[in-house]
Amino acid sequence: MNQEPQTIQRATPLLGDPFPEMNVQTTHGPMSLPGDMKGKWFVLFSHPGDFTPVCTTEFYAFTKRADQFKALGCELIGHSVDQLNSHLKWVEWINEKMNVEVPFPVIADGLGTAAIKLGSIHPGKGSNTVRSVYIVDPEGKLRLMLYYPQEIGRSVDEILRAVKALQTSDNNKVSTPEGWPKNDLFGDEVIVPSPKDEKGAKDRKKQMGDACLDWWLCHKKL
């Protein structure tokens, strides 16, 4: 008798979904997410493992830019399936050897509970968390996700840029072009939302003139 193949259910949140609720132990003590971050932006970033070369360079970069995230009202939270003692020792090593102080908490997810909820363990890449990034807004909504393989380090500057772009888009009801605020076409200008009807399309170029390449592609300074 043929049996139906077993389906493995993996939780993978989608953009716009509420960030999965979780109670976690961190290097700064217990946390409840996203509740403890209510009203704030936060970036949760998973790394494959403590005491590994690429992850160490990333933690150094996040630490050096922590004040820039803080200036945007954005908190940083690290995460992996390592045990708490490993996190504590690794953070201590980074502080001593690299002459910095890691200011953000790191989730110790030894049982992988948080990783399963986030979808940050990819079976094809082993049992460690992949290099994933989750940007969450003050309403607790997941706004951006990035995934990297273990052998490729992230650009922390790009993550910082993405937070700035999301906040700019939300606050001004605009879009941001490629590489903003250093776009090859428009520099630090933003993209104006498209018209909603035919009349708006006809009026757009008259109203904005040289700021439009066409009615559907207009840009402006903030």
| Distance separating alpha carbons of residues 109 and 75, to the nearest angstrom | 19
142-148, strands of its sheet edge to edge = 29-33, 22-26, 106-108, 74-80, 41-46, 131-136, 142-148
Q: How far is CA 9 from CA 6, 58, 59, in A?
A: 9, 30, 31
Angle at which helices 53-64 and 84-97 cross, to 10°? 70
| Contact of 201 with 216, CB cutoff 8 Å | yes
122 contacts 42 by C-beta, under 8 angstroms: no
Catalytic annotation present for 74: no
Question: Burial, 30: exposed, middle or buried (Cβ in 10 Å; 0-12, 13-18, 19+)?
Answer: exposed
Q: How far apart are CA 150 and CA 114, in angstroms?
A: 19
**All residues at 6 or more sequence positions from 209 whose CB lies less than 8 Å from its CB, including other chains:** none
Catalytic residue among 55, 74, 212, 218: 55
Please give the helix or strand (H or E) that residue 156 lies within, else none: helix 156-172
Could you list the active site residues? Answer: 55
